[in-house]
Amino acid sequence: MARPKDSEKGRAGPRAESWLAGELGRTDPGSQAWSLMHWMMVTNKHRLFAMAQEFELAPQQMFALRMLASGPRKMSELAQALFCDNSNVTGIVDRLEDRGLVQLRPGEHDRRVRMLMITGRGAQVRAGLAARLDEPPEALANLSPEDQRALRDIMRRTGRVFQAGTQR
């Protein structure tokens, strides 16, 4: 097992085996898998925050930039994707706009709708973020290529089920 980096020491928190499903005595594989995914995200949260700080962004700003990869979005769509109120998105977008990373335009068919677009500078920052976010945590990077492929394939299948709207 890989030793934690200095920046990761003291952040391990509860052990994976005791997280949620183990804590509740759940032994079914689905509950255990979900519990372990949650544990991995919680214990790697500091990585996401550190990556956002590398680009002088708040985590919400980082996520907003990532969501603009597919093209312009309505402010209301961004609020929905970030699970926050439209008023909160305004503050997030204002700070991104102040840095020249995004710009707001009136909607093509309805001028009351505000469309958020990434700028050239924003696209550069977003590309740098994507490269950093694409780096797996050490625990995943240290898995064998076969295990990495198996995990990827399982997660892809799971993602397709979620996208199809069949999640509970």
- HSE-CB at 164 with a 13 A cutoff on CA atoms is 7
pLDDT bucket at 57, cuts 50 / 70 / 90: very high
pLDDT bucket at 149, cuts 50 / 70 / 90: very high
Strand partners of residue 115: 74, 105
Judged against a pLDDT cut of 50, whether residue 158 lies above it is answered with yes
Kindly tell me the burial class for residue 10, based on how many C-beta atoms sit within 10 Å of its own C-beta (0-12, 13-18, 19 or more). exposed
Distance CA 129, CA 134 (A): 8
Q: pLDDT tens digits for 3-54?
A: 344 444 444 455 666 566 667 777 888 888 888 888 888 888 999 999 999 9
Asked if residues 40 and 46 have their Cβ atoms less than 8 Å apart, the reply is no
- HSE-CB at 151 with a 13 A cutoff on CA atoms is 14
Q: pLDDT tens digits for 84-140?
A: 888 889 999 999 999 999 999 887 887 778 889 999 999 999 999 999 999 999 989
Of 128, 69, 68, nearest to 104 (Cα)?
Answer: 68
pLDDT bucket at 2, cuts 50 / 70 / 90: very low
Quote the pTM value: 0.74
The tokens for 34 are 């979900």
Of 83, 125, 78, 124, nearest to 104 (Cα)?
Answer: 78
Asked if residues 158 and 94 have their Cβ atoms less than 8 Å apart, the reply is no
Q: What are phi and psi of 53, to 5 degrees?
A: -65, -35
